[in-house]
């Protein structure tokens, strides 16, 4: 790898990347895996600095730095002759990204070993306005349909085909998000049952060990699920689709290495039309949730700034709101039985998005679609 700082900045960048003559204007080729692995942070910073100096399109930089999620910080990216394959740089990068992030059998099931099939899938008609990922009760998709937005709802409770951890499920999800129109909107409510503070006893997730007890199957599956979600979010960004990821404010998801790398990459490269990931805080209790439930929405969604909330008044008075009561008989050490009472919180009701909130999210999807069409955002 040669670094030439003499001459024009354009010549310096080309020498640093070592790209073939017919690809120098479109792609980067990392010719030394050892240098990229050992000096990953420095190398990435240099690339970003040089690209800014050369006034390259930051979206093009995002395309090639997307290989951060290949399992290493960088991988060797062999240049593909886009003239002979007919692939655009973004399509080429999405294929490379998915190939490096999933197992060979999953990639083979996807059919992207054949570039003709891959290009056909990547260029399929984009007709959906929104996606409700991990939809649960599907309130967001219902709100979209009420506002005449075409939305797809995906959740493993609906069908085994929607299980993202399976091969067929991953293929189904990829094809689903590829059908979202440019500047559409995806709401991702990834399950928080292994990231909340109530589950830290068995999950083992701490600030110094965010991955938790990976010997447990549910924890390992949750970590693998997040990896695939980050991959899908990166594909959505490359396809210019706005998205937002939801989880409780104190969730350990925000400290996961995969999500932190995704956030750093998108903040460094500009996201969609210069819109970088931002965090938006809401009290779900303000919209009708039985609990106060402070929640964070993080992603690239400029319309989220229009949704406001306040802490519910009953939460300010330190009143707990429960849904019904239940009791049971417990045997005491002396052999007697004593009735115990406990307030019952219906988790299925607490975990769903309140309808007033999903209505506002639907308005956000509609506004973002119109604002992007008129170049407001």
Q: What is the pLDDT of residues 127-147, one digit of tens each?
A: 999 999 998 778 899 999 999
Which residues touch 281 (CB under 8 Å, ≥6 apart)? 249, 294, 295, 296, 297
361 touches 143 (CB < 8 A): yes
Relative to beta strand 325-331, strand 337-343 is antiparallel
pLDDT class of 245 with cuts at 50, 70, 90: very high
**Which residues partner with 230 through β-bridges?**
none
Residue 58 is inside which H or E element, if any? helix 58-65
Task: DSSP letter for 15, please.
Answer: H
pLDDT digits (tens, 9 = 90+) for 292-333: 889 999 999 999 999 999 888 766 554 444 444 444 555 666
Helix (H, G, I), strand (E, B), or coil: what is residue 28? coil
Report the distance separating Cα 171 and Cα 141, nearest Å: 21
The pLDDT of residue 36 is above 60: no
Pick the residue with more confidence: 300 or 375? Answer: 300
Q: Does position 286 have pLDDT exceeding 60, yes or no? A: yes
pLDDT digits (tens, 9 = 90+) for 151-199: 999 988 887 788 899 999 999 999 999 999 999 999 999 988 889 877 8
pLDDT of residue 314: 67
pLDDT value at residue 220: 93
Residue ranges of alpha helices (H) inside 204-269 are 217-238, 257-269
pTM equals 0.73
All domains in the chain, ordered by first residue:
124-316+346-373 (3.40.50)
Q: Which residues of 97-119 are buried (b: 16+ CB within 10 A; e: fewer)?
A: bbbbbbeeebbeebebeebeebb
Burial of 303 (0-12, 13-18, 19+ CB in 10 A): buried
């Amino acid at each position: 790898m040669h670094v030439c700082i003499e001459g024009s900045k354009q010549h310096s960048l080309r020498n640093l990347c070592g790209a073939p003559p017919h690809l120098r204007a479109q792609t980067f080729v990392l010719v030394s895996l050892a240098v990229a692995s050992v000096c990953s942070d420095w190398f990435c910073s240099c690339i970003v600095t040089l690209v800014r100096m050369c006034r390259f399109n930051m979206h093009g930089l995002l395309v090639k730095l997307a290989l951060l999620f290949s399992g290493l910080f960088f991988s060797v990216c062999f240049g593909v002759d886009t003239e002979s394959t007919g692939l655009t740089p973004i399509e080429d990068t999405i294929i490379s990204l998915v190939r490096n992030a999933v197992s060979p059998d999953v990639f083979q099931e996807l059919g992207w070993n054949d570039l003709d099939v891959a290009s056909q899938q990547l260029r399929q008609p984009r007709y959906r306005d929104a996606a409700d990922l991990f939809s649960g009760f599907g309130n967001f998709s219902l709100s979209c349909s009420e506002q005449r937005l075409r939305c797809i709802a995906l959740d493993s409770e609906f069908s085994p085909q929607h299980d993202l951890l399976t091969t067929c499920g991953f293929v189904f999800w990829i094809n689903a998000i590829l059908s979202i129109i440019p500047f559409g909107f995806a709401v991702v409510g990834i399950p928080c049952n292994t990231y909340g503070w109530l589950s830290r006893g068995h999950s083992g997730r701490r600030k110094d060990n965010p991955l938790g007890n990976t010997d447990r199957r549910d924890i390992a599956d949750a970590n693998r699920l997040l990896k695939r979600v980050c991959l899908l979010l990166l594909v959505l960004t490359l396809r210019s689709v706005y998205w937002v990821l939801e989880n409780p404010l104190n969730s350990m998801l925000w400290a996961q290495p995969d999500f932190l790398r995704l956030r750093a990459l998108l903040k460094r490269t500009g996201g969609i039309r210069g819109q970088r990931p931002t965090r938006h805080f809401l009290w779900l209790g303000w919209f009708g949730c039985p609990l106060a439930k402070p929640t964070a929405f993080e992603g690239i969604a400029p319309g989220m700034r229009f949704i406001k909330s306040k802490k519910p008044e009953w939460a300010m008075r330190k009143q707990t709101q429960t849904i019904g009561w239940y009791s049971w008989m417990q045997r005491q050490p002396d052999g007697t039985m004593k009735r115990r009472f406990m307030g019952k919180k219906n988790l299925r009701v607490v975990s769903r998005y309140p309808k007033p909130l999903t209505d506002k999210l639907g308005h956000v999807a509609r506004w973002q679609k119109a604002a992007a069409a008129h170049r407001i955002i």
